Copies of this chain bind each other. A is one copy, B any other.
Amino acid sequence: MQVCGKCKIRIEEGEFEKFGIESRASHAGAWQDSESASIGAEERLAGYRLGCVATVRSELLVFVPEASRAGKQVVSKAARQIQIDLDPAIKHYVIDVKEPTLEDSTADLERVLEALEKQHGLSALLCDIFALRSLPRALRAGDWQIIVSIWMDREIIRFRPGRQFTGYGLAIDIGTTTLAAYLCDLNTGKVLDTLSMMNPQVRYGEDVVSRITYHMGNPEGLARMSADLVDALNQMIEQALCGGEGLSSGDENPGPGGPARISREDILDVTIGCNTAMHHILLQLDPEPLGSIPFTPVVHHSLDVKARDLGLRVNASANVFFLPNTAGYVGGDNIGVILAEAPHLRDGIQLIIDIGTNGELVLGNRNQLICASCATGPALEGAQIEFGMRAAPGAIERVAIDPNTHEVDYKVIGRDAWRSYSAPEAMQTRGICGSGILDVLAQLFLAGIVGKNGAFTADARRSARFRKNPQTGIKEFVLAWANETIIAKDIVITQKDIRQIQLAKASIYTGCKLMMRRLNLSTVDRVKIAGAFGTHVDRGLALVMGMFPDAPLETVTCVGNAAGDGCRIVLLDRKKRLEADRICRSVTYIELTLEPDFQHQLIEATQLPHMTDAFPHLREASERCRFKKIE
C-alpha cells in the first residue's frame, strides 16, 4: 500500500510507558511496511506512526505535529509598520589586517584586535570560541581583509572574508498557545518574513498553570516541554531559512521550500519575549514557585543566553536576548507591549489590553505605570469552545445576527464572500476562531438571543436555530447548518461556550476596572487592544460585550501583536534593551485576586452591560453594531 505520509503523529506517554518504546508503539498496532517510507529509524524510535495505518489498541496520548495538521494557520501575528531606530546589537566592521611574517608572527586574533582598535576605536573585546574557529580561514580566504560582526561592541561573534556583509535577526514572541517569529534584515530593519505556529506545549495543558502542574508531576517534564518548544522554534527557523515553506531539519535536505535562501550562519541575533512561565520553561528554570503564592519568578532582569546553550540552530555564537519579567504572571511579552506602545513616554493615560491565553493589562502614563494579569483562559483563542478552532481556512471570523429573524450571517477565513452572498456548500465552514468568538456573544446579546446574564432568552426559544442538544441536554444556537460545513455537522455555540466567553471578558473587564480604581481614574485617554488577533477585533462589539470600561470608540485602537513588535524593537535597537530593564524595574505589578472586592467584581462583570445612559459610548457602539457587517 502506498501512503502519502502526511499524517505523521507521535505517540506520547500513557500508563503503559513503563514497558518501553516497543510496547508503547504496539498500543497503536504493529508497525506497517508502508510507514517506513515516511518515518525514518530515528523517528520510529521517537514513537512516530502514520495516523492512517496505525490502529488504536488502548488509551493513547497522541501528538499531532504542525506539519500534519489540516490547514495552515493564517498568520494573524503579521508585523505592523512601526517606527524603530535602527541600531542593532550586531554591528559589522570591515578591517584590513597586516599579513604575518617571520619577523612579526603575532597571532591572528591579536592582529584583528589591533586593527579593530586602530581602524574602528574598539577595545576590550571578547571573542566567542565558536567564532574564533573561523578566523584563520577567513583571514586567508579574504586576503587579510575581513568583516567582523560584533555583539553590543563587546563580543566578536563572527569573522567572514571580504567586504560585503549580510546579517539577519529573529524576533520571537512565544505565547502560551501560539508562536510568532519575525525574520529581520539587521542592515535595513526590514521584516523579510513572518512565521507562526502553535506552541507544541499545548498538549501538556492549555494554560500556564496546567504546564506548571505537568512539570511538578513529571521529573522529566520541564526538560521535555523545553525541548518541544526548542524543536518548534527550530522548525520556524527552518521555515525562515527556506522562505517560509521548508520544514526539514538538516542543511542537506532543505525540504519542500527548496534550497535554503539564507544561511543558518547568517542569523546572528535572536530576541525573545514571552510570559514568565514560558520564559522559565524554555530556559528550564523551575516554574514551580510561579504556581503558588507569592508567585515568585526566578529572575526579573533581561538575560543574554548563547543560542547553542538553548539548542537554537542559528549561528552558534549568536546571543539570545530575553526580555525581562515583571512578575510571576506578567512577563517579557508585556514589557514588549510597553516598548511598542510607549505609555511610559506619553502624558495621556493608556489602558492596554493584551489578549492571549492570559490577559495582560497595562495602565498609566509617564508618571506611573501599573500592570496586572487576568486569567482569561484560552476561550478567546478558540480553545475549550465546542467548535472553536484556530485562525485557519474555514474558521468563522466575523458574525452578524439579525435581531428580527435571528438569521446568522458570517464570514470564514479564506473566502471573501459572506454567507448571505454564497451558496451554502461554497462556505466549507470548519469552526469558529478567536475574532468570531468575540463577535458572537455581542451579536447574540444585541439580537436579544441571550440576556444580560448570558442565558438564552425566551425570545431565543422561538428561533429555528435554538435547540437543546439531544445527547448532552445543553442549550445551543446554530451558527452554520451542516450543509454549509465541511464537517457535515451543524456548527453551534452552546450555553457552556457562552459561559466561557463571559468568564474571559469578565476577567479582562474586572482587571481594567480594579486598575483604574487603583489610580483613581474614571476614564482613560486611550484604550489599546493587543494580541494575536488584536487587529481582527471589532472594537464596537468588544465594548458591547463589556470587555473593557466604557470609552469613546475613537479612542479605542487595535494594535495587533504589540508584544511581537516589542521583540522586533529590541532586536533592531539595542538602546531599547536597557530601556526594557528600566521599565521592568519601574512598573508596579498589581495582584488582582488580592484586590478588595475582586470576586464580587468578577461575578458582576460576567453580566452583559445595560444599555443605560451611564454608558453613552456603549449605546453608540450598540447602535453602530446592530446587524451591521464589519468591513
Contacts and interface: CB of A to CB of B under 8 A. Distances in A.
Given A283-B129, A285-B133, A286-B137, A102 B301 contact: no
A364 interface: no
A108 B140 CA distance: 48
Given A133-B286, A283-B129, A594-B102, A107 B305 contact: no
Contact of A298 (B109, B298, B328): B109
A106 B325 CA distance: 10
Interface stretch (A289-297, A335-343, A492-500): A289-297
A106 B296 contact: yes
B108 A299 contact: yes
Nearest to A328: B105
Query: In the assembly, how many copies of this chain are there?
Result: 2
A308 interface: yes
Interface string A76-105: 000000000000000000000000111001
A276 to B, nearest CB: 9
Contacts of A296: 100, 105-108
B286 A136 contact: yes
Contact of A289 (B102, B109, B136, B305): B136
A519 to B, nearest CB: 19
Given A102-B591, A293-B102, A594-B102, A132 B298 contact: yes
A232 to B, nearest CB: 20
A102 B294 contact: yes
Nearest to A585: B110
A476 to B, nearest CB: 42
Nearest to A135: B298
Contacts of A295: 105
Most B-side CB within 10 Å, residue of A136, A294, A297 = A136
A97 B517 CA distance: 34
Contact of A109 (B137, B293, B294, B299): B299
Given A110-B301, A294-B105, A299-B110, A129 B289 contact: no
A52 interface: no
- Closest 9 interchain pairs by CB? A105-B294, A109-B299, A136-B286, A107-B297, A100-B296, A107-B300, A102-B294, A105-B296, A129-B305
